[in-house]
């Protein structure tokens, strides 16, 4: 269980007060921001070509996972029909 899930668990089962959980949450959030900042310093520059590839992969993933849309399924169907 992640730390965030653990906080929600303690809140849901009223193990600790909402105020205590809120303080722990904001402390956790601060450490997460520090990690993100350190990671951002490591990434100098992403080329435009790489950025477009990442955007396409992200869009394809979101479409597959959340909308059940699969890229190029029409092209694959047409190719399969032409090969028969």
**How confident is residue 73, by pLDDT bands cut at 50, 70 and 90?**
low
Is residue 75's pLDDT more than 70?
no
Q: Which residues have CB under 8 Å from 4's CB, separation 6+?
A: 25, 28
Do 7 and 24 touch, CB atoms closer than 8 A? yes
Q: What is the pLDDT of residues 1-60, one digit of tens each?
A: 688 889 989 988 999 999 999 999 998 888 877 666 666 777 777 889 999 999 999 999
Residues 6+ apart with CB under 8 A from 64: 70
């Amino acid at each position: 269980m992640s730390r965030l899930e653990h906080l929600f668990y303690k809140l849901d089962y009223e193990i600790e007060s909402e105020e205590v959980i809120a303080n722990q949450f904001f402390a956790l959030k601060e450490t997460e921001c520090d990690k993100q900042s350190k990671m951002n310093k490591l990434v100098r520059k992403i080329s435009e070509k790489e950025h477009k590839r990442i955007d396409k992969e992200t869009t394809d993933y979101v479409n597959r996972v959340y909308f059940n849309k699969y890229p190029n399924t029409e092209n694959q169907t047409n190719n399969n029909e032409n090969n028969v």
